[in-house]
Amino acid sequence: MGKKRVYEFAKENKMASKDVLEKAKNVGINYSSHMSSMEDKEVEQLKKAFSQKSKSAGSQMKSNNSKKTKQNNTTSIKKANENNTASNKQADRPKKEHQNNAQTNKNSNVKQASQNKQTNKNNEKNSQHSKGQTNINNKKASSQTKNNQKKATSSASTGKANELPKRTTDEKQKQSFENKRRRSSRQHRGIHGGPAGARKRKGRKNQKPKGPVTPRKFKELPEILEFTDGMTIAELAKKLHREPAEIVKKLFMMGIMATQNQSLDKETIELLATEYGIETEEKVQIDLTDFDTFFEQEPNEDNLVTRPATVTIMGHVDHGKTTLLDSLRETKVTEGEAGGITQHIGAYQVTENGKVITFLDTPGHAAFTTMRARGADVTDIAIIVVAADDGVMPQTVEAINHAKAAEVPIIVAVNKVDKPGANPDRVMQELTEHGLIPEDWGGDTIFVQISALLNKNLEDLLEMILLVAEVEELKADPKRLAIGTVIEARLDKSQGSIATLLVQEGTLHQGEPIVVGNTFGRVRTMTNDKGRRVQEAKPSTPVEITGLNGTPQAGDRFVVFKDEKTARQVGEARAIDATEAQRSVTNKVTLENLFDSLEEGELKSVNVIIKADVQGSAEALAASLEKIEVEGVKIDIIHTGVGAINESDVTLASASSAIIIGFNVRPTVQAKESASREEVDIRTHQVIYNAIDEIEAAMTGMLDPEYEEQVTGQVTVRETYAVSKVGTIAGCFVTDGVIKRNSSIRLIRNGVVIHEGELSSLKRFKDDAKEVRNGYECGLTIEKYNDIEVDDVIEAFEMVEIKK
């Protein structure tokens, strides 16, 4: 038996590897990780150190659970601090405890004093993010944080004030409603501004001496003025318990002219508050449609509990990713569940030593990166599978780089060790070049040699995952409203949209209002990875849900809201935002926008993908298309293939801004869906020439059109009438061709062009005319031009595009 490793020692002594590492450090032994091997002498030394510790910590070390021990210690430290007895014991404790201690000490006064209050608040805050306004204003807003104490006392005195820094959604909704009302009332006043304003002024003049119409009870100024940027004077007046007129006056004295309904900026409001001698606190409005708000929310430390790790398996093609996922699923999932049949929902959980691990069921870094690209970082640990008989391959390197880019810890699973040509050492050697050095060679990467096919060493792999998870200290707050990420989503004929969600924080319950990506709804049903209906899903748990009004996409994030109304509003707003965003970035090439793309210099060649019923037609079409060249713009065939246009063609087209031409083939349903989502242009034809013509026409159309002037007719001015408000009307006779209402004109006097412009009216007798032909009389006026004289000649012309 070889040397003992740190994690084995930890396991034997029923404690966390992390604690062992720390203790070792304290006694002067530096292990690089939990995989480090221990000298016998060190084992003894550590045992001694721990037994001393257990003496000094009293009965607490007796606890079996190492985590518990840590917590117990911390709580006891807290207590000790409170009693001011901690200092005697400190020398004995490991470094981390010192840190804890110091921190607790530091925090204890401030924290402890406010904690009761704060905890309640936080609880409320965290568990009710649908109520929107979180404590952000505490962080960002208050320009006067020094005033916190004051605030505390004032808020303590009134229950309502106590809640103020935390804006609830109700308040937020009220606020946005208020804003709308304000806007509409402003508009209203805009329309009826005169009379309303006048009435007010009159009223004030007449009634002021007699006192206000609605006598207001005198109220003290608030101690803190809570405001939002852009508040109106009227709104501020309410907050300040003062008449708006008084504020208008005050501002006037400060040199700021403003009316009651005028919005004031932050600086002015702060100035005004200074005038009144009170402090300000800005309330920052949270945009509920921005999910970052929920994902970046400070956790409520008191609620944090350990959560399962989420693992993604990556590696080169055929190195055994799927086999590993299947083996783990078959041996581990079904094992624990009597008659359990695993469902493919995109993720599943296995239990090892009573601890749960969540595996994402889509192997490969493409899915991993797509998720990341959409802002979803769900993976905690990456397993890089490398076949021992094949070694490090291009996609192995890619996978390593993807994992490194995501800053996710890596475990290497050297697979297929059962194979005759297996050479695990070579794999290790090759991986060192990519920064993955095994523990035995002085590095800190965990390598496990497995055979996914024969289920060999899978337990070891799971144990290592648990070990890394433990070191990572993965925690989540199950008490808040759930947030997380879509793992998979599809449209089902009978059930509608089905999405697999991975809960990342909070607990998801059946029936909750939810916004998923740009869709929303209520969680109608929840099914777990074993196909069982469940009522709730805790952090790191994947569940399949129904009840959404649309189908989200993998990698979309979800947020649960307290009430359906907010969920609907947020969902609808996000859908609108997404449509607008999509509209503004239409960079996909379609035959329609081909010309614009070329004009902006984005394209020098047009990428085309050809799918045909037989290879011969595909090649013929490709050859013909490649011959088209219009003004230096060429066709570039990036892919040809036989068979229906599938999703992969669309993905390729989307990634390379290509147009897909189908000859005698149609797109599959999925391809059609994905093409409309990705805005990929698919053109299908039965006749080769039509396909060529269409492309050629589009390419011709996309070239800069050239125009030439075409004179359509001539008229002579016979009379002129000066009409006030209209200008000069010319009574004319069409001597040649035709003059149209939308013609451009040139006014010629004695052979000299004296004006060029547009008509502003053209009439036959009293009626407006679209055009007047040769031999008829007409009346006309010229836009913004009145210097028309009898015998002037008016030439009508049009700019006509020259066909190439």
Ligand X SMILES: Nc1nc2c(ncn2[C@@H]2O[C@H](COP(=O)(O)OP(=O)(O)OP(=O)(O)O)[C@@H](O)[C@H]2O)c(=O)[nH]1
Q: Would you tell me which residues interact with ligand X (CB under 6 A)? A: 315, 317-323, 363, 415-416, 418-419, 451-453
Closest-CA residue to 128 (of 560, 526, 768): 560
Nearer to ligand X, 63 or 395 (CB): 395
Residue 408 CB, shortest distance to ligand X, in Å, is: 19
For 500-528, b where at least 16 C-beta lie within 10 A, e where not — what string? Answer: bbbbbbbbbbbebbbbbbbbbbbbeebbb
Residue 368 CB, shortest distance to ligand X, in Å, is: 13
Nearer to ligand X, 307 or 365 (CB): 365
Nearer to ligand X, 452 or 502 (CB): 452
Residue 321 CB, shortest distance to ligand X, in Å, is: 4
364 appears as a binding residue in the annotation: yes
320 appears as a binding residue in the annotation: yes
Residue 452 CB, shortest distance to ligand X, in Å, is: 4
Nearer to ligand X, 320 or 662 (CB): 320
Structural contact between residues 794 and 748, judged by C-beta atoms closer than 8 angstroms? yes
229 appears as a binding residue in the annotation: no
606 appears as a binding residue in the annotation: no
Residue 323 CB, shortest distance to ligand X, in Å, is: 3
Structural contact between residues 660 and 683, judged by C-beta atoms closer than 8 angstroms? yes
Tell me the pairing of strands 309-315 and 355-360: parallel
Closest-CA residue to 286 (of 580, 570, 520): 570
Residue 180 CB, shortest distance to ligand X, in Å, is: 53
Closest-CA residue to 93 (of 50, 48, 59): 50
633 appears as a binding residue in the annotation: no
365 appears as a binding residue in the annotation: yes
- According to DSSP, residue 332 is labeled I
Residue 386 CB, shortest distance to ligand X, in Å, is: 10
Closest-CA residue to 546 (of 509, 502, 498): 498
Closest-CA residue to 557 (of 489, 480, 511): 489
Tell me the pairing of strands 381-387 and 446-449: unpaired
Nearer to ligand X, 384 or 650 (CB): 384
Nearer to ligand X, 321 or 329 (CB): 321
Nearer to ligand X, 363 or 779 (CB): 363
Residue 301, burial from CB neighbour count under 10 angstroms (0-12, 13-18, 19+): exposed
Closest-CA residue to 358 (of 387, 325, 330): 325
168 appears as a binding residue in the annotation: no
CA 484/CA 557 separation, integer angstroms: 6
Q: How far is CA 725 from the centre of its chain?
A: 57
Neighbours of 449 (CB within 10 A): 20
Query: What is the phi/psi pair of residue 377, to 5°?
Result: -110, 90
Nearer to ligand X, 317 or 623 (CB): 317
| CA dihedral (183, 188, 194, 200) positive or negative | negative
361 appears as a binding residue in the annotation: yes
Please list the alpha-helical segments (H only) found in 585-614: 594-599
Residue 322 CB, shortest distance to ligand X, in Å, is: 3
CA 36/CA 6 separation, integer angstroms: 6
Instruction: Count how many Cα atoms sit within 13 Å of the Cα of residue 51 in the half-sphere of its side chain.
Output: 6
434 appears as a binding residue in the annotation: no
Residue 803 CB, shortest distance to ligand X, in Å, is: 53
Q: Which amino acid is at 436?
A: L
Residue 521 CB, shortest distance to ligand X, in Å, is: 33
Tokens of 407: 């800053």
Nearer to ligand X, 80 or 399 (CB): 399
CA 688/CA 693 separation, integer angstroms: 9
Contacts of 193 (CB under 8 A, 6+ apart): none
CA 148/CA 114 separation, integer angstroms: 11
Nearer to ligand X, 94 or 363 (CB): 363
Residue 403 CB, shortest distance to ligand X, in Å, is: 16
Nearer to ligand X, 226 or 389 (CB): 389
321 appears as a binding residue in the annotation: yes
Closest-CA residue to 649 (of 620, 627, 678, 623): 678
Residue 44, burial from CB neighbour count under 10 angstroms (0-12, 13-18, 19+): exposed
402 appears as a binding residue in the annotation: no
Q: How far is CA 170 from the centre of its chain?
A: 24
Nearer to ligand X, 224 or 314 (CB): 314
322 appears as a binding residue in the annotation: yes
Residue 457 CB, shortest distance to ligand X, in Å, is: 10
Instruction: Count how many Cα atoms sit within 13 Å of the Cα of residue 568 in the half-sphere of its side chain.
Output: 3
34 appears as a binding residue in the annotation: no
Feature table: binding site? 315-322, 361-365, 415-418
Feature table: binding site for GTP? 315-322, 361-365, 415-418
